[in-house]
Amino acid sequence: MTLNRRVKRLVKLAEKRGLTHVLVSRPDNVEYLTGLRTTTTPPKDYHLLLHVEDRWWELLASPLDYGEAAEVLGKGRARKVVKASLPETLAKLLEGRRGVIGLELGCLSYSVVEEVKRRLEGWEIKDFTGVVEDLRAVKDREELELIKEAVRIAQEAFKRGLEALDVGIEEREVAARIEEAVKRLGGDGVAFDTVVGSGPRAAYPHGGAGGRRIMEGDVVVIDLGARFKGYCSDLTRTVFVGRVNQRLREAREAVIEALERAEDRLKAGVKASSVDRAARSTLKARGLYRFFIHGLGHGVGLSVHEKPALSPRSHDRLAKGHVVTLEPGVYFEGLGGVRVEDMYVVGLKAERITTLERRIDL
């Protein structure tokens, strides 16, 4: 069987590293290379074994997941293996050979790695962690279309949640409306648990959705994402319910200004850290620097958080085809918080793919 384009690129990277074999174990990396859905809950137990010199790969699947893999890939491509015997199976498949194998050490337990080392006597083992993620960072045309559909679904689901948002409703009820809408609109499901943080809880960036009831004068931070055919979206809006504290009103304007400054800087070739700095400098000029407590953004694809990272210490450089978020936010303990998040395709200039209004008042 002819290797697909993505695996061919992987072969070239493996050859440059002097590898004869590669074992890919991270679920979303396996999905990227094979097209098999792995980003489920719980994730599918698959490992892709690449025979670099033979230009051949095969999938090692747990008994629970083997049937689906064999149906999609063919029995000649899929092999059944129980997790506890992965090192044993690997040793049998490579019996009589010697070489250099790359393992995603960050995705395997210490005991599995040690057992692989013991069984592959005479083999050299190299860390392959992060290599497939680098490939995934640049999206092709098909991936961009899937992400844009995930964005469309998330935006429509947000509107359904907004229709329900009113004084007296619980945060989790708003989240439930959004999450139900994602599936009704054709999504696989949510990309992550929806955040609906109101009042003082809006100061918690990852506060989830609780039982607090929305009150007049609340600020409500809604952070949501949809998954479509494996690909994710991620967006945030801050909604004002009635007359909101002046400090929070000023903060939202500052956050939107920071987003716009970062957006102006967002293009292929620039350092990701410089985009973060553009937003952070804007907030610093407004006296809000110390309230911006996280990085500016991140890549989005099969995972909701992937390369590149847009943060002060990031060493990433933006490239054409990256899909990223920009999400400046400020948080005041005991009062509330503000965050606005949009998604972009990086090119000679940024293409914004989220279209919701940034200022929403009820």
| Domain end call among 117, 137, 157 | 137
Answer yes or no: are the C-beta atoms of 316 and 295 closer than 8 Å: no
The model's pLDDT over 216-256, given as tens digits with 9 standing for 90+, comes to 999 999 999 999 999 999 999 999 999 999 999 999 999 99
User: Angle between the 171-184 and 141-164 helix axes, to the nearest 10 degrees?
Assistant: 140
Angle between the N-to-C axes of helices 5-16 and 27-34, in degrees from 0 to 180, rounded to the nearest 10: 120
SS3 content of the chain, % helix, strand, coil (to 5): 40, 25, 35
| Residue ranges making up the domain that contains 10 | 5-137
Residue 110: both structure tokens together: 């210490």
Same domain, 157 and 33: no
Check whether residue 257 and residue 308 sit in a common domain: yes
Q: How confident is the model at residue 268 (pLDDT cuts 50, 70, 90)?
A: very high
Tell me, yes or no, whether 91 and 152 share the same domain: no
Q: Look up the CATH number of the domain holding residue 68.
A: 3.40.350.10
| CATH number of the domain within which 257 lies | 3.90.230.10
List, for residues 198-210, the tens digit of each pLDDT value: 999 999 999 999 9
Sign of the alpha-carbon dihedral angle for 353, 355, 360, 362 = negative
pLDDT tens-digit map of 88-113 = 989 999 988 899 999 999 999 999 99
* Sole residue written with tokens 């937003």: 279
Q: Read off the pLDDT band of 84 (50, 70, 90).
A: low
Burial class (CB in 10 A: 0-12, 13-18, 19+), 41: exposed
- Residue appearing with tokens 């847009």: 310
Q: Is the preceding omega at residue 63 within 30 degrees of 0, hence cis? A: no
In terms of Cβ atoms closer than 10 Å to its own Cβ (0-12, 13-18, 19+), residue 31 is buried
Are 178 and 161 in contact, with CB atoms under 8 Å apart? yes
Cis status of the peptide bond prior to 312, with omega within 30 of 0: no
**Furthest-apart CA atoms within the chain: distance in Å:** 74
pLDDT in tens, 136-150: 999 999 999 999 999
Question: 16: part of which helix (H) or strand (E)?
Answer: helix 5-16
Write the DSSP assignment of 282-302 as a string of letters: HHHHTT-GGG--S-SEEE-SS
Q: Rg for the chain (alpha carbons), in Å? A: 23
Q: Are residues 83 and 166 in the same domain?
A: no
Residue that is last in its domain, among 78, 104, 137: 137
Tokens standing for residue 205: 């960036």
Considering the domain architecture, whether residues 281 and 314 belong to the same structural domain is answered as: yes
Query: How many domains, the chain?
Result: 2
Shared domain check, 104 and 62: yes
Taking alpha carbons only, the member of 33, 5, 273, 45 closest to residue 133 is 33
Let me know whether 184 and 276 are in one domain: yes
Q: Quick one: pLDDT band at residue 2, thresholds 50, 70, 90?
A: very low
State whether 131 and 145 are in the same domain.
Answer: no
Q: Are residues 207 and 111 part of one domain?
A: no
